[in-house]
Structure 1
Amino acid sequence: MSAPAQLQKGLKQRHLTMIAIGGVIGAGLFVGSGVVINQTGPAAFLSYLVTGVLIILVMRMLGEMATANPSTGSFSDYSRRALGGWAGFSVAWLYWYFWVIVVGFEAVAGAEILRYWIDVPLWLMSLVLMVLMTATNLVSVGSYGEFEYWFAGIKVFAIIVFLVLGTLFVVGLWPDKDFDVSLMTSQGGFVPNGVGAIFSSIVVVVFSMVGAEIATIAAAESSDPERAIARATQSVILRVATFFVGSMILLVLIVPWDDNALGSSPYVAAFSEMGIPYADHIMNAVVLTAVLSCLNSGLYTASRMIFVLAARKEAPAVLVSTNRRGVPVWAILFSTVIGFLSVIAAYVSPDTVFLFLLNSSGAVILFVYLLIAISQLVLRRRTPDEQLVVRMWLFPALTIVAIAGILAILVQMALSSDTRSQLLLSLLSWAVVVDLYLVTRARGGSVSPDELSEQPASTGGQR
């Protein structure tokens, strides 16, 4: 292989648009939102609104840095430039770890959904899904983009259908139904479990919104990274407002917040309340596409992060090689192995090993977001005005607000007995990563911020 290996610019604008739109819609919205509503009450949409604002701010910061310097390394390279090698190493490895665990988790979740229709052992169906998604990523980046385009399209279409039908139902433009918004206050009030529940639920909500940042990584494999990143980061506002906040408002107006049916599948409960036949089958199919989309994107994202780590001399050199189609085959297979091991752990030891893996990656994404925000605070002051295609609003005030918000969520996790173990194990994961950096650096590996600035701006390129 010639060095440096280059990724194929095989993603089209329509792929990136749908990756950006669908990236924040996962199984967490279709299933996990019911738990949030049960815990918070009708005010649950405020939890999504506050979290959405935080995600929007992080995406805006990413947009500013990424348009100034598009890179497959994305936020790991920005952290390296802003804070030093340890930060870039930490962001890349933590983000990789988060997504490979997600890949295993989503494979198990997808298998559980398929067992609704097919009586097959869970481990076998999980492995089948892993093999299918691995094959999709191995063919070409274009096949990943095409798969994600259609599966994200199904998710988006399902949410839009729900928003339209739900609105008609609530405003009274539905058979035998009058205008009725009484459920917002009639079942014990707007905040039946207290205002604190709005903020404690944010810990759950933030993980259902992870994924918007994938578009900034994928953009490096497109022909016009700056335009793609700018569009992705600017459109996240509308997506959060409509898909998350809008659908949460409709859910609490259609189904009582304390209805147990919400916990298992809120959208099935809402469609059933509206009298739509086969709601369970329809939404199970939609959730399956969301799970497969997340599995597909998780594998793509993890492979690109480990590819960048190898290019920075922080992972085995073989992982930076690409085939003649510009696909980082070994990076994909290496990331897949962890996913396969997670599936095996879910079968052999679901309550110990698999639970440990999930908990040890639970707060990792918040650490990554925190380092992104701090990096933007530093790099903005070093970036010439002419390079700022996308600018962070009200800098530095909103950047500081975002940092404070992320720290507040981490404190909330520490105070809650339900999430404390996730935080502690995730901190342990970070400590292990920092130790690995020190070992890597001592052995002559890793790229310093100065060396990074001497390399090409992007690891992308046409072979």
Structure 2
Amino acid sequence: MKAGLKNRHLSMIAIGGVIGAGLFVGSSAGIAAAGPAILVSYALVGTMVVLVMRMLGEMAAARPASGSFSEYADQALGRWAGFSIGWLYWFFWVVVLAVEATAGAVILNGWMPAVPQWAWALAVMVVLTATNLVSVGSYGEFEFWFAGIKVVAIGGFIVVGLLAVFGLLPGSDNPGAGFAHLTDTGGFLPNGWGSILTGILMVVFSFMGSEIVTLAAGESQDPQRAVSKATNSVIWRIGFFYLGSVLVVLTLLPWNDPSITDEGSYVAALNSIGIPHAGEVMNVIVLTAVLSCLNSGLYTASRMAFSLGRRGDAPASFATTTTSGVPRPAILGSVVFGFVAVFFNYLWPDTVFAFLLNSSGAVALFVWLVICCTQLRMRRVIEQETPEKLVVRMWLFPYLTWATIGMIVFVLVYMLFDDVGREQVLLSLLVAAVVVAIAVVRELRGRRTAGHADRESHDLSGKT
């Protein structure tokens, strides 16, 4: 692996990693379920992500690694933990590849219906696979521009939206009600306190991707500085891009306006201002977010596969790189599964692909939970071995770490009582149990083999 990512790449990956396609596509369902109180849901999940990123940043700044939290779990909790969370994370992202490729194909097919959806999905996957195979720098360059478009788009949306909210935007069709829409339609909590928890389940997975920068830092020129900067800026990034943009939607329109669910929250907001061709503009931005997510997903899955291969938890070929430092077998292995998942999505969308989607649904929470448990042990190890490398420290350790663990467990338990969340948690637990069982069996076999080798060595030395 080579340090092919520049500081500007890392900075934009850190910012763009927080802005997933889920923000544009999924926010309307959350608003419909919780009303203005969805802001509290976003704030609670955002707080949880900030704390998890602080813990991960502490470990990544002290020990940069291409496998990030999987390698830390290996060191702190045991081989079984690193193996399990590494493969679950890989599984999550290769399923995401299929989801994003299909989403991108739908948009492109709408523009050019003469080309079938499957051909667009194939083209998108091939192009981004090729860029990842060239060099890590080409991935960084693509992500720099993808993330840049997302950042500029949301920043512009917030500025224009707030001007319209307060009646300061010339030619706006919106009446400019200020913050009145936050309470004028059934109050701030129109569906009760329970809707905040329902909202949490709907928005939690749109935050997945914040941790990508810690994997990418291993291929940067100054990983410690990159991780420190990304970790310290995660608060304003989540506050501005998530809370800021959703607040604009809720102040431009009443939360129960049918256009929010019919057209999508951001398109409806732009239409209320009178922005021409709002739907087409938002489709371009969503396509950019989809391509960014697909690009980062392929990068992330391949680097996790590379790390697993290097530790002997995946085929040894995954740990090999080209002369330019690209783990080609790990990339190809990841994208093959992605292609297979796209194939399943077209042939069996309601059975096989639905199973893949649901069985990876709670992996984000599992990853965050493992990061918390790992940091509890790694903090002591780093303090004893290399205390000078603790340049990023978790706040109020260990109390906030335990509080975060409690928050994540609470969300997982609550999902068991939710009709949609229950299937995701149970299927994700099933897949996790299978992976952990494989990890434990491998570890026991390894110990047994090592024991036999020790006995044979002892017997030979005795005969000698």
* Smaller-chain TM-score bracket: over 0.9
**Higher helix content, 1 or 2:** 2
Cα distance in 1 for residues equivalent to 2:73 and 2:389? 18
Matching residue of 1:297: 296
Q: Using CA pairs under 8 Å that are at least 6 residues apart, name the structure with larger relative contact order, 1 or 2.
A: 1
State the Cα distance separating 1:260 from its structure 2 match.
2.7
State the Cα distance separating 1:330 from its structure 2 match.
0.5
Counterparts of 1:331-350 in structure 2, within 5 Å, are: 331-350=330-349
What do residues 375-414 of structure 1 show as CA deviations (whole Å, max 9, x unaligned)?
Answer: 1112212222322100001111111111011101101111
SS of equivalent residue, structure 2 residue 188: coil
Matching residue of 2:454: none
Structure 2 CA distance for partners of 1:178 and 1:94, relative to 1, 3 Å: closer
Cα distance in 2 for residues equivalent to 1:444 and 1:312? 13
Matching residue of 1:455: none
1:275 aligns with 2:274: yes
Matching residue of 2:321: 322
The residue type equivalent to 2:157 in the other structure is: F
1:111 aligns with 2:109: no
Matching residue of 1:180: 178
State the Cα distance separating 1:191 from its structure 2 match.
0.7
The residue type equivalent to 1:142 in the other structure is: G
Matching residue of 2:142: 147
State the Cα distance separating 1:179 from its structure 2 match.
4.9
The residue type equivalent to 2:367 in the other structure is: V
What do residues 214-246 of structure 1 show as CA deviations (whole Å, max 9, x unaligned)?
Answer: 000000000100000000111110100100011
Matching residue of 1:425: 427
**Residues 64, 391 of structure 1: 8 Å contact kept:** yes
TM-score, length of structure 1 as denominator length? 0.93
Of 37-46 and 180-189, more deviation after overlay is shown by: 180-189
Q: Structure 2: give runs of 5+ residues left out of the alignment.
A: 451-464
State the Cα distance separating 1:423 from its structure 2 match.
0.5
Cα distance in 1 for residues equivalent to 2:364 and 2:166? 39
The residue type equivalent to 2:56 in the other structure is: L
Counterparts of 1:240-251 in structure 2, within 5 Å, are: 240-251=238-249
Counterparts of 1:55-454 in structure 2, within 5 Å, are: 55-119=49-113, 120-175=115-170, 177-263=175-261, 264-384=263-383, 385-444=387-446
The residue type equivalent to 1:440 in the other structure is: R
Cα distance in 2 for residues equivalent to 1:42 and 1:431? 38
Of 191-200 and 143-152, more deviation after overlay is shown by: 191-200
State the Cα distance separating 1:122 from its structure 2 match.
1.8
Q: Structure 1: give runs of 5+ residues left out of the alignment.
A: 1-6, 449-463
SS of equivalent residue, structure 1 residue 42: helix
Cα distance in 1 for residues equivalent to 2:288 and 2:426? 33
Matching residue of 1:454: none
The residue type equivalent to 1:140 in the other structure is: S
State the Cα distance separating 1:178 from its structure 2 match.
4.5
Matching residue of 1:452: none
**Residues 200, 412 of structure 1: 8 Å contact kept:** no
State the Cα distance separating 1:443 from its structure 2 match.
4.9
**Number of residue equivalences:** 441
Q: Name the larger-Rg structure.
A: 2
Matching residue of 1:36: 30
Matching residue of 2:45: 51
SS of equivalent residue, structure 1 residue 116: helix
Cα distance in 2 for residues equivalent to 1:84 and 1:434? 12
Cα distance in 2 for residues equivalent to 1:232 and 1:90? 26
1:20 aligns with 2:19: no
Cα distance in 2 for residues equivalent to 1:266 and 1:67? 37
TM-score, length of structure 2 as denominator length? 0.93
The residue type equivalent to 1:248 in the other structure is: V
The residue type equivalent to 2:213 in the other structure is: A
The residue type equivalent to 1:343 in the other structure is: V
Cα distance in 2 for residues equivalent to 1:69 and 1:141? 20
What do residues 141-190 of structure 1 show as CA deviations (whole Å, max 9, x unaligned)?
Answer: 00000000000000000000011001101112023644532211111111
Cα distance in 1 for residues equivalent to 2:434 and 2:363? 12
**Residues 176, 252 of structure 2: 8 Å contact kept:** no
Root mean square deviation, CA, Å: 1.5
Cα distance in 1 for residues equivalent to 2:403 and 2:185? 34
Cα distance in 2 for residues equivalent to 1:305 and 1:47? 30
**Residues 22, 153 of structure 1: 8 Å contact kept:** yes
**Residues 345, 353 of structure 1: 8 Å contact kept:** yes
Cα distance in 2 for residues equivalent to 1:43 and 1:279? 26
Cα distance in 1 for residues equivalent to 2:282 and 2:215? 30
Give the percent of matched residue pairs that are identical in Structure 1 and Structure 2.
Answer: 56
Cα distance in 1 for residues equivalent to 2:376 and 2:425? 25
